[in-house]
Amino acid sequence: TGSSDPYCIVKIDDEAIIRTATVWKTLSPFWGEEYEVQLQPTFHSVSIYVMDEDALSRDDVIGKVCITREMLAECPKGYSGWVSLSEVDPDEEVQGEIHLRVDVLKSQGDRWRLRCTVLEAR
């Protein structure tokens, strides 16, 4: 049909913790949703999966963005910008990118506090 029904799932070390709202019938969704999570000191990565909701079958994975602990260490104040989606299935072609703002906030002790704003995609 030339459009998707995209939503995002945020995972910390492969454990799903957040699901955004679905934006219906678009290839350029705008979410503007903001989440704040506490990260364990031993976390490895935060992954954002862009999905296509399908009422008649299993939802399709459009692509993902993975933010590693090392990437956050290189940008101690955070990051804002467009990030290209990477494939989840090596047999699938992936096109698109997602606009993220990731802020590393001061925390108490050895825990990380991360604010991730999922803005839009194309």
Average pLDDT score over residue span 26-52 = 88
Assigned domain for 96 exists: yes
- Full domain range(s) for residue 72: 6-121
Cβ(23)–Cβ(122) below 8 Å: no
Assigned domain for 65 exists: yes
Domain count, the chain: 1
What tens digit of pLDDT does each residue of 63-90 get? 999 999 898 888 888 889 999 999 998 8
Is residue 107 over pLDDT 70?
no
Is residue 11 over pLDDT 80?
yes
CATH of the domain at 34: 2.60.40.150
State how far Cα 101 lies from the chain centre: 10
Assigned domain for 115 exists: yes
Q: State how far the Cα of 54 lies from the Cα of 52, in Å rounded to an integer.
A: 6
Strand, helix or coil for residue 121: strand
Is residue 51 over pLDDT 90?
yes
